[in-house]
A and B are shown apart, each in its own frame.
Chain A
């Protein structure tokens, strides 16, 4: 508790006054391990793609590394957005969260961070690289997604494959281009290299092409069927799936910058088992986790050398979202949604 910043101090005081006192947690590995032994359990919220098997593989690795015998209760994500809102609601009514740690996207963590719902910890003390720590020491990045234009290589001739983002604005795509409902992809560009003005101008031009709108999975199907010739963005998750089934779906890999939404892990404020949770976050940051995460979710971290994501990101300009962009991303994502006609 030595490293808490001022903002957090204020919040903590408020919490002390309003709700149950923050449970004590150790600062060193030894103290955390000792505390974890007493707690014995961790409530883990993570992507449903991980699956119970993947979650238990994580638990086994964690127990082995620290010589513990912690029971991991896995809650697969049903609806990350709604579950995040639930955490906000629980906290607002002064109740402890259901989960100790959540692995959700950087955007969702952003929503939590804006309401100060993380339990910060100086993870560098546990050997975590500084650049993977985000949200005022509240979270650690675990894995990266990548988003780029995607197409069906059997249908789209090689000469038509876009080489830069601007190629997507060619009038030839009119009525044949798709846009998925992950409007935050554009907001990330706006908060990052493109700036707001350029991005909104781009999106407006995109909208003028009367794109076909749908959810990511659906878009993959429309690409495979040939109903949509190119999707302005798609995530690598859909590409992994397509690859597994043999569908000819690929990224326009020359396009840069690459958008990379990240999965972060963070301990929730008032977590019932803070010691295990803090220790588990440190474990999630270790290289040991990458093969497990890769096996079950298909994703790896671009910050861990040797992984698939690391290799993919090499030599490319990649847009990661930083905590100070969270609010802007949320705002612009809504604006983009309105421009494109999602809501």
Chain B
């Protein structure tokens, strides 16, 4: 009896639009679609527009293909493209290599110290990537890397065994830093997997490891694939690691080229060339988005992982417990402990030095006292605005979009769903460059350039795909009859949303809200691309301090922020443990 009313909407179906006189819901959905189309479409249109122009935003110049000729007739562009692809693929590979076992260990086994590990993973997200990168330079640089030196001495090697300054080195650092994000995304899929599927394997005489490889991984493959695509897009857009590790050894990727063409060290920004580089990124993104949609559709076959309310029995690790703990803590060491130790060390020195007796004698806490003076109040205020507004706006839009997509009968709901997913395919740096161009070229209509709100917009667009995926999955879990019962009871649509749907999805929404808030806090690529003197946020301050060589100062700031975040996240986790993992879908 179920089948007859549960046909999935065909994606992008326009058929039937306007078959009925526009009712409230249809009007609302149309308005929402138009708004999103404008919000997402404008920056993308700007990227294309600027790629067809030379000169500066605001200058009225004829359209030309000059930028494309400059970019795509140069063989170097293709070298850079190859670098970018290798970097992205290798980063994602390293991430999954760590994240997948980590998820299984934490979600399905009886490993001790779970809550503590969760808190540490969340803290890992908050450590700025470049600080972690400095720690890696201190360990793995071919010249001064401590690990390299020790290994060289211990095994009397002729040269340093590790070279951080390579594509592999970059991918390693980037991949490790993606792990917490991937962990929380994958955790949702594992948590809702029916444990009887695993138990069936055990009763068939299959061991734990083999079950993990043959049952868990294939079943969660669509989820893993989705995370892969998501990380891949992020890896293409990030530029902190490429800037700190790649640039010194002349390894360029697309994002560093886009950044340097809009923020050159000499001369004036070249928006046209940035746009032309962006076009290939956009193409890459749309290709991946197509792949992603295909994968997710395929994923629907595995209906078992969409079920709800399983309380999976934890697998007793027995003597393997120590191996699992060792793995987790090895990861936490490279993700959290070592960077934090380096940070702590750097923050108490007058200038950055390798550990030595002399360095020990010069310890000072002056940098901590100097923070208010050096940073000022503005970045904190701006960051606060960002961390409140971005998740709020994103989640409000996501809930409304999901409600239309999942629950309404509006004929173009599939289109709306696809629309909300598009930002997933557009690298953040491109969105930001497009917004910057929009703000500069059309400042009369879009007077937000240089304010923190333009960053709010960039972040909102960037995370609306993530937001709607979350709200979609949360809302699907709310049986539609719960809402229909409300309608039958005589409650209007908005009232049903407010009194029934929202209370039911509140926990899931709160989770995503916190998660997006944290992502917004640490995001640097878009904030930096849009930065002017008035909309500096903490992440860009940190970046600029690093650029100015103020390592001890920024380390002190980092230590304080991490301690603060640990306290907040720890309290939240222990107090609201019923809410579930931060960043998960339910």
Contact = CB atoms under 8 A, between A and B. Distances in A.
Interface in A51-101: 75-79, 81-86, 88-90, 92-93
A79 B351 contact: no
Interface in B249-278: 249-250, 252, 256-257, 260-269
Interface in A202-222: 210, 212-222
A82 B57 CA distance: 11
Contacts of A238: 549
Given A214-B248, A215-B547, A227-B144, A246 B265 contact: no
Majority-rule SS of A interface residues = helix
B531 interface: yes
B59 A89 contact: yes
A11 B350 CA distance: 53
A324 interface: no
Interface string A169-198: 000000010100111100100000000000
Given A78-B532, A343-B260, A187 B268 contact: no
A261 to B, nearest CB: 10
B247 A84 contact: no
A79 B353 CA distance: 29
Contacts of B36: none
A225 B267 contact: no
A251 to B, nearest CB: 16
A210 B249 CA distance: 8
Contacts of B362: 246
Contacts, number: 148
A183 B56 contact: no
B56 A92 contact: yes
Contacts of B269: 81-82, 85
A333 to B, nearest CB: 4
A330 interface: yes
Interface string B534-578: 101000000000111111100000000000000000000000000
A297 interface: no
B141 A181 contact: no
In the complex, which range does the number of interface residues on chain B fall in? 35 or more
Interface in A259-313: none
B533 interface: yes
A221 B283 CA distance: 38
Contacts of A76: 533
A224 B352 contact: yes
Contacts of B85: none
A184 B533 CA distance: 24
Contacts of B351: 224, 242, 245-247
A334 B127 CA distance: 35
B266 A333 contact: yes
Contacts of B257: 343
B143 interface: yes
Nearest to B269: A85
A77 B532 CA distance: 8
A339 to B, nearest CB: 11
A334 B268 CA distance: 11
Nearest to B259: A343
Contacts of B56: 85, 88-89, 92
Nearest to B436: A82
Contact of A77 (B248, B268, B533, B551): B533
B350 A245 contact: yes
A226 interface: yes
B268 A85 contact: yes
A337 interface: yes
Interface string B122-135: 00000000000000
Interface string B319-360: 000000000000000000000000000000011111000000
A229 to B, nearest CB: 9
A111 B269 CA distance: 11
Interface string A304-343: 0000000000000000000000000110011001001111
Contacts of A187: 266
B532 A225 contact: no
A241 interface: yes
Contacts of B533: 48, 75-78
| Dominant secondary structure at the B interface | loop
Interface residues of A, number: 57
A29 to B, nearest CB: 32
B268 A111 contact: yes
Contacts of B532: 78-79, 82-83
A258 interface: no
Nearest to B437: A89
A102 interface: no
B263 A82 contact: yes
Contact of A183 (B141, B265, B440, B551): B265
Contacts of B354: 225-226
A328 to B, nearest CB: 12
A107 interface: yes
A245 B58 contact: no
Contact of B266 (A79, A210, A247, A334): A334
Nearest to A84: B268
Nearest to A241: B549
A75 B533 CA distance: 8
Interface string B277-306: 000000000000000000000000000000
B137 interface: yes
Q: Which of B137, B165, B247, B441 is the most central at the interface, judged by chain A CB atoms within 10 Å of its CB? A: B247
Contacts of B481: none
B60 interface: yes
B244 interface: yes
A184 B266 contact: yes
| Residue among B248, B269, B536 with the highest chain A CB neighbour number at 10 A | B248
A213 B247 contact: yes
A266 B533 CA distance: 20
Nearest to B267: A330
Contact of A221 (B60, B262, B551): B551
B205 to A, nearest CB: 55
Contacts of B547: 215, 217-218
Nearest to A229: B143
B11 to A, nearest CB: 40
A338 to B, nearest CB: 9
B551 A343 contact: no
Given A212-B248, A224-B353, A92 B265 contact: no
B144 A342 contact: no
Contacts of B144: 225-227
Interface in B350-391: 350-354, 362
A182 B265 contact: yes
Given A78-B533, A221-B551, A343-B260, A86 B265 contact: no
Among B262, B265, B534, max chain A CB count under 10 A is at B265
Contact of B58 (A92, A227, A329): A92
B370 to A, nearest CB: 11
Contacts of A89: 56-59, 440-441
Interface in A83-134: 83-86, 88-90, 92-93, 107, 111
B266 A217 contact: no
A219 B532 CA distance: 24
A181 B547 CA distance: 11
Nearest to A338: B76
Interface in B40-70: 55-60
Contacts of B267: 81, 107, 111, 330, 333-334
Given A89-B59, A330-B267, A333-B267, A227 B549 contact: no
Interface of B: 55-60, 137-138, 141, 143-144, 165, 244, 247-250, 252, 256-257, 260-269, 350-354, 362, 440-441, 443, 531-534, 536, 546-552
10 contacts: A79-B532, A85-B56, A107-B266, A111-B267, A182-B265, A187-B266, A221-B551, A246-B351, A247-B350, A333-B267
The 6 A-B pairs with the shortest beta carbon distances in the complex, nearest first, are A217-B549, A89-B58, A341-B250, A78-B533, A92-B59, A247-B351
Given A81-B263, A342-B247, 9 more contacts: A76-B533, A77-B533, A82-B532, A85-B56, A85-B57, A210-B249, A218-B549, A221-B549, A343-B257
